[in-house]
Amino acid sequence: MNADTVCLACCRNKAEGLLEQYGVSEETREILLKRIDKFLKKDKRTGDMPAPVMMAEILSIVDEKVGIMDAYEKPKKKYNRKLLEMEEAVIADIEKAEDEFLAAIQYAVTGNYIDFGAMDDVSEDMLGKLLENRADVELNTDELARLKRELEEAEQWIGAYQKELQELEANRTLLEQQLEGKERKDTEQIAREIKEASGELEEIRKEYMKLHNTNERNREIRDNLKRNFEKNSGLQKQYEIVGNLSKTANGNLSGSAKLDFETYIQRQYFRQIIRAANKRLVRMTSGEFILQCRDVEKLGSQGQAGLDLDVYHMATDTVRDVKTLSGGESFMAALSMALGLSDIVQNTAGAIHLDTMFIDEGFGSLDDVSRDQAIRVLNDLADKDRLIGIISHVTELKQEIEDQLIVSKDEKGSHVKWQIS
């Protein structure tokens, strides 16, 4: 029960009576009453303070100056024993009540009447009547509801606290089991190790930042190089094309025959000369073989190449190197190539006319048939306003040539004379 105006006056009167009872001087009494009045009137707490608590505060003020004992010690002990004797009956009555909380509050409010510091007319009969009529105690419903909510919250808090306490106890037991038999660590040593590790960690962090910054710079450089490379990729492709053309023209292209541009052009004329030469070689050899320019695919990849001759045998359909020809065959091939060269030069250069040709030896290596065939070819050329001169010591050849310039030698020297048919 909170203090009201009546309680405040009652408390002051009780204090004044105590001061008179203990014979406190007028001066001291005035000082103490002023302090009590100040406490009752100005202290904001008194509005919500129960009467017993308020009286206890007043007694403490008086006791500071006077040193009196609690004047109600004996009655309090007496009625406390009385209430303890009634404890089981009170608890049973509360448990039977429809609203146990309301019943408990009513008993608590009734107990405030045993405030021996604020009342002087308490008796056993009055106490009994108050307890019997506890249901008639008027209570503030709003205040009662607030107290009930606070009680429920307190119970919830206590439940949560007890649960947490049980968990902590379980954890403590588990930790004790885990630590049982283990050596206690030197916390100072651990602190030093942590400090050293923190220093090392800081150094690592600095090194990491340094590497990170370097990596960022390298990333930027890489991106710039990538952009420049993409920008110059077109030039690179053009360079590769021009480079391959240059290597091809100079015969330096890797993995292919060393055939430069000049040799390539010469091969075109060389083929024309071979075709012209084969026209006469076929007649000289009765179609036994012809000459052909070696294919690029068959050329070696080492050194300059491209003007190589091969011999194609008509009868056997085989190809062999021109170096494998016999002496007579080589002479006919050489003579055919010389005549073919003469034809191509006259055909491609109109201002040039080769009307004279001299052939020095070579006929001695031919058999009779081959010699006759070669002479027929030369006679055909001579019939076309071309002068063919043959220098030879072969006796059989003299019979085939009509107009001769004979060179003889004696002790006086060499002599020449014409023999015209």
Half-sphere exposure of 229 (CA within 13 A, CB side): 6
173 falls within a domain? no
179 falls within a domain? no
Cross-strand partners of 413: 410
117 falls within a domain? yes
Q: How many domains does the chain have?
A: 3
168 falls within a domain? no
d(CA 242, CA 35): 116
Are 240 and 247 in contact by the 8 Å Cβ rule? The answer is: no
d(CA 344, CA 274): 10
Q: Which of 249, 283, 303 is the endpoint of a domain?
A: 249
Residue 1 in tokens: 């029960």
Q: Are residue 33 and residue 118 in the same domain, yes or no?
A: yes
Q: Which domain holds residue 46?
A: 5-147
Q: Are residue 235 and residue 273 in the same domain, yes or no?
A: no
Residue 241 in tokens: 């094309």
Q: Are residue 274 and residue 385 in the same domain, yes or no?
A: yes
Closest CA to 331 of 386, 379, 392, 387: 392
Q: Are residue 53 and residue 77 in the same domain, yes or no?
A: yes
Which one-letter DSSP state was computed for residue 302? Answer: S
Q: Are residue 275 and residue 138 in the same domain, yes or no?
A: no
Q: Which of 198, 214, 249 is the endpoint of a domain?
A: 249
Closest CA to 391 of 374, 406, 375: 406
Q: Are residue 270 and residue 220 in the same domain, yes or no?
A: no
Q: Are residue 267 and residue 219 in the same domain, yes or no?
A: no
176 falls within a domain? no
164 falls within a domain? no
Distances in Å between the Cα of 166 and the Cα atoms of 151, 154, 155, 175, 324 are 22, 18, 16, 14, 113
d(CA 28, CA 354): 167
Cβ of 259: how many Cβ atoms within 10 Å?
23
Are 278 and 337 in contact by the 8 Å Cβ rule? The answer is: no
pTM: 0.38
Q: Are residue 72 and residue 105 in the same domain, yes or no?
A: yes
Predicted confidence at residue 302, as pLDDT, reads 44
For every residue of 383-394, DSSP letters joined together read TTT-EEEEE---
Q: Give the domain CATH number at 340.
A: 3.40.50.300
Residuewise pLDDT in 10s, the chain (421 residues): 445 555 677 778 877 877 877 778 888 888 888 888 888 876 545 556 666 677 778 878 877 776 665 555 666 677 677 777 878 888 888 888 888 888 888 877 777 665 544 445 556 677 777 777 777 777 778 888 888 888 888 889 899 999 999 999 999 898 888 878 777 777 888 888 898 999 899 999 999 999 999 999 999 998 888 888 877 777 777 777 776 666 665 655 555 556 677 777 888 888 899 998 898 888 888 888 999 988 766 665 444 467 788 899 988 899 988 888 887 788 888 888 888 888 888 887 766 676 777 777 666 667 777 777 777 777 776 656 677 777 777 776 677 777 778 888 888 888 888 777 6
Closest CA to 277 of 342, 374, 186, 223: 342
Per-position b or e across 15-54, b if 16+ CB within 10 A of its CB: beebbeeeebeeeebeebbeebeebbeeeeebeebbbbeb
Measured in whole angstroms, the distance separating CA 200 from the mean position of its chain's CA atoms is 27
Predicted confidence at residue 168, as pLDDT, reads 92
83 falls within a domain? yes
Closest CA to 307 of 320, 322, 319: 322
Predicted confidence at residue 372, as pLDDT, reads 76
Radius of gyration of the chain (CA): 71
Predicted confidence at residue 118, as pLDDT, reads 41
Q: Are residue 88 and residue 219 in the same domain, yes or no?
A: no
33 falls within a domain? yes
Q: What is residue 380's three-state secondary structure?
A: helix
Which one-letter DSSP state was computed for residue 35? Answer: H
Q: Which of 204, 220, 249 is the endpoint of a domain?
A: 249
Q: Are residue 239 and residue 366 in the same domain, yes or no?
A: no
Q: Are residue 387 and residue 279 in the same domain, yes or no?
A: yes
